Structure 1
Amino acid sequence: MGSGVPCLVRPGCQASACLRPSWFGWGGEGSLGKPSPKMAPQRCFRRLLPRKLSHVSLWKVILGLAAILLITSALRKKFVLQAMPEPISALTDGTFTFYFNWSVYEALFPHLQLYRCQEVIARDDLCQGPSRAPLLLLAIKSHLASGGRRATLRRTWAQTAEVGGFWLQPLFLLGATSNQKQLELVVQESRVFGDILMWDFVESHHHLSLKERCFLQWVHGHCQRAAFVFKGEDDVFVNPVALTKFLRQTPNVSHFIHGHIHYHPAVKRIGRDAIPLPLFPLGHFPHFALEKGFLVPGAALPALYQASLWLPTFPLSGAYWGFLALAVQLPHKHSGDFRAWEKMEDHLTLYQKSLMVHGVSMERMEKVWRELRGSTRGWPK
């Protein structure tokens, strides 16, 4: 047998000391974890090579392996990039085509585009209700200073309960504040009730869109079992018996966003909801539901979350939901039982048949709740 054949493949050849096991892997001569000073790693490697292999040939092998690794890495990156969708630059609903100039969004509203959702108060195990009942998540936008409103809602419709065959789970969505006293009160409130989810962006009108984007991320990561989500605000009255009845009896209820729908609402150029012309040159938005309260099917949440990754964050949260729904081709369906921004006669029958009513004082809300609880079957106690 020629001397140029490596010891590993020569019959009857004993493995060199550099291949004997030690506590740290393949170590030195007879040591338990201490490589022999007589056997450097380079010498071990050489003893496994044919003796006639020159230093030039060895370097060729090393360079060849390096080239293969570089090519493999480049191909892997190429296929990963090909698998990732491109940021959305345009959407159409058949009437209007909406273009998104990402550089303008980043210039005018950089924080909305660059912000990465960071929770201050987390709720990772909230969606753990009875598995026998489909989950209706009540996701309520609130403000740190609105502790009184949250208290009223907890005494009325924002309760953990089983109603109409659904398990209702309230969740209040908050941003941060620089007011340390308010922050401490909210942390204490969260410890007591366990129904607050809070991020570290500061509350503001434009940051409501961040609240929507971060909510979709949270749902995707922690609440995929939600059958439906009621997206609302903390100044509305919700009838949980009528709401769950609506979900049970409406045909194809999971195929739409349900609410008080604005069809191609006009863009405002002045006031709190003003949108700069360079950001959005068109005069109309896509359809979207009034933010005071609307229903989103749980089956659409994964696609809505993915769309939030590739759409710019629009500075108005209602229109932002409209773009998200358009991106995943989720249509809207109007229902007059989502009552908002209208003058109504304040009779108990109105609250009995309505899904949601906006413009109710906190005192009136509690009185209506007590009256309905005493007169309506299936009302949560």
Structure 2
Amino acid sequence: TRGHVWYPASFHCTKKKRVGLLKPLLSLSLVFASFLMIHKLKLAEKDGVGVKRMRDAVWCGSECFSFKKRVVKNSLGSSESPVLSNGLDAQRVSKGTPASWDAQVLNCSEDASVRTQDWFGRLDPRFHQFVLHRHCRYFPMLINHPEKCADGEVQLLMVVKSVIEQHDRREAVRKTWGKEHTVDGKKIKTLFLLGSPATGKDTKNLQKLIEYEDMIYGDILQWDFMDTFFNLTLKEVNFLKWFNIYCSGVQFIFKGDDDVFVNTHNLLQLIDFRVEERKEAELFVGDTISKAIPIRNRQSKYYIPKELYDKPYPPYVGGGGFLMSSQLARRLFVVSEDLELYPIDDVFLGMCLQKLQLAPEMHPGFRTFGITRRRVSPMNGEPCFYKNLIVVHKLSAQELLRMWSVVHNEDLICAQRVSV
């Protein structure tokens, strides 16, 4: 399916014509969702929820944005920044760290030499585009906020993976654990990582909506690659490079999904403990998975064919939520540039850690598979567990808002610390 194939934003593929009422229904649904989202965003702006105020009372189009897509070419088709034939910019090859985001032109043609390899002929076709474009690593930014880390010392940067359509999840995160504030003099900032919407007739509308949302909140980073499952690793490497350029003063990064519950009080306590113990330099902690092997079930979302990877995985943490130090993030950026991209993002970070001869730390407070693996278990709705844990996966936007309210209710009394 399309969601499981690697596509750059400019890659076009033919689709079979769909019959019936599916397209009209989808279009009507998008129009309704768009009106609802704009209404919610305007209410948020009016009520002062947004971090970033609109300068004008009416929608004024893309000219309002100072950070938008910049594809600068001359008559010969070359860019202002030198781009090599394999899609990697000159500064990337020279290992220098640019002063600003330097991937300005999308130049990602397939690596035709891969097609001559024997193993490629045996590879499951759904992985063909990923492998052919695996060398394409850094992409132009459509929305950037280089000022996010520049406002004084930021102790904790909350970085949340999301997609354009999941506006309700981002709203829930902003109202709960992703709310930007200062705790005991320690600043907490939040960013959402997005790719581009899939190519289609509603692409421009979706892009306008996300630009409108960013005008109000100012907390979105967006790159010009298509938002698919295989491209989650692109969010990892593009963010690591972005962080290395713009966030020299940040001390810690929490990175997670937009459908998790995070107890920020417990997360800050964990940071304080590690700082007191002077163990923060190599901090990388979460729900560690050890001795895992690639899944060979073709029906699984995480299926990996033998031709792509045929050995055990290194220890890695569940991508639902983990904490790392800024020092380690910069080291991960350096080693990531010399590793081939892998279609499972949390496994790829485990490979980077292995390259550094480090292992992630297991912490019982991170439950990226839920409190129990049985989704229907009543324990997964027990607020005292959430009060004592750090990260719990997986919640809908409504469940997150409700659980946040219950956990922070002063009338909630938990007789003793509970564990599972």
Which band: TM-score by shorter chain? 0.5 to 0.7
| Residue in 1 that maps onto 2:258 | 234
Between 1:236-245 and 1:327-336, the stretch displaced more is 327-336
| Residue in 2 that maps onto 1:279 | 308
In the alignment, structure 1 residue 144 sits paired with structure 2 residue 164 = yes
2:390 equivalent among 355, 359, 364: 355
Q: In the aligned structure 2, how far is the partner of 1:230 from the partner of 1:164? A: 18
Q: In the aligned structure 2, how far is the partner of 1:248 from the partner of 1:116? A: 34
TM-score, L = length of structure 1: 0.68
In the alignment, structure 1 residue 169 sits paired with structure 2 residue 189 = yes
> Shift of residue 84 of structure 1?
6.9
Q: In the aligned structure 1, how far is the partner of 2:358 from the partner of 2:159? A: 19
TM-score, L = length of structure 2: 0.62
Aligned AA (1:158): G
Change (3 A) 1:264 1:365: same
> Shift of residue 355 of structure 1?
0.6
SS of 1:168's equivalent?
Answer: strand
- The alignment covers a number of residue pairs equal to 277
| Residue in 2 that maps onto 1:311 | 339
Q: Contact between 1:176 and 1:201, CA under 8 Å: does it hold in 2?
A: yes
2:247 equivalent among 223, 239, 250: 223
> Shift of residue 366 of structure 1?
1.3
Change (3 A) 1:275 1:254: same
Bigger Rg, which one: 1
Q: In the aligned structure 1, how far is the partner of 2:283 from the partner of 2:358? A: 6
Written as runs of structure 1 = structure 2, the 5 A alignment for 1:137-216 is 137-163=157-183, 166-177=186-197, 178=199, 179-216=203-240
Q: Contact between 2:137 and 2:237, CA under 8 Å: does it hold in 1?
A: no
Q: Contact between 2:233 and 2:342, CA under 8 Å: does it hold in 1?
A: yes
In the alignment, structure 1 residue 120 sits paired with structure 2 residue 149 = no
Q: In the aligned structure 1, how far is the partner of 2:308 from the partner of 2:399? A: 42
For residues 223-245 of structure 1, the C-alpha deviation after alignment (integer angstroms, 9 at most, x for no partner) is 12221111100000111111000
> Shift of residue 336 of structure 1?
1.1
Q: In the aligned structure 1, how far is the partner of 2:292 from the partner of 2:248? A: 31
Aligned AA (1:273): Y
> Shift of residue 113 of structure 1?
1.7
Q: Contact between 1:164 and 1:244, CA under 8 Å: does it hold in 2?
A: no
| Residue in 2 that maps onto 1:111 | 133
> Shift of residue 219 of structure 1?
0.3
How many percent of aligned residue pairs carry the same amino acid? 26
Q: Quote the RMSD (CA, aligned, Å).
A: 2.5
Q: In the aligned structure 1, how far is the partner of 2:349 from the partner of 2:380? A: 31
> Shift of residue 189 of structure 1?
0.4
Aligned AA (1:151): E
Change (3 A) 1:367 1:225: same
Q: Contact between 1:109 and 1:315, CA under 8 Å: does it hold in 2?
A: no
| Residue in 1 that maps onto 2:57 | none
Q: In the aligned structure 2, how far is the partner of 1:255 from the partner of 1:116? A: 26
Q: In the aligned structure 2, how far is the partner of 1:318 from the partner of 1:109? A: 18
Aligned AA (1:262): I
> Shift of residue 109 of structure 1?
1.3
Please list every run of at least 4 consecutive aligned residues from structure 1 whose deviation after the TM superposition is greater than 6 angstroms: 104-107
| Residue in 1 that maps onto 2:408 | 373
> Shift of residue 350 of structure 1?
1.1
> Shift of residue 197 of structure 1?
0.1
Q: In the aligned structure 1, how far is the partner of 2:358 from the partner of 2:237? A: 17
Q: In the aligned structure 1, how far is the partner of 2:385 from the partner of 2:184? A: 20
Q: Contact between 2:316 and 2:346, CA under 8 Å: does it hold in 1?
A: yes
> Shift of residue 345 of structure 1?
4.4
> Shift of residue 289 of structure 1?
0.4
Show structure 2 runs of 5+ residues with no match: 1-93, 97-112, 121-127, 373-378, 412-420
Q: Contact between 2:294 and 2:310, CA under 8 Å: does it hold in 1?
A: no
Q: In the aligned structure 1, how far is the partner of 2:328 from the partner of 2:383? A: 34
| Residue in 1 that maps onto 2:327 | 299
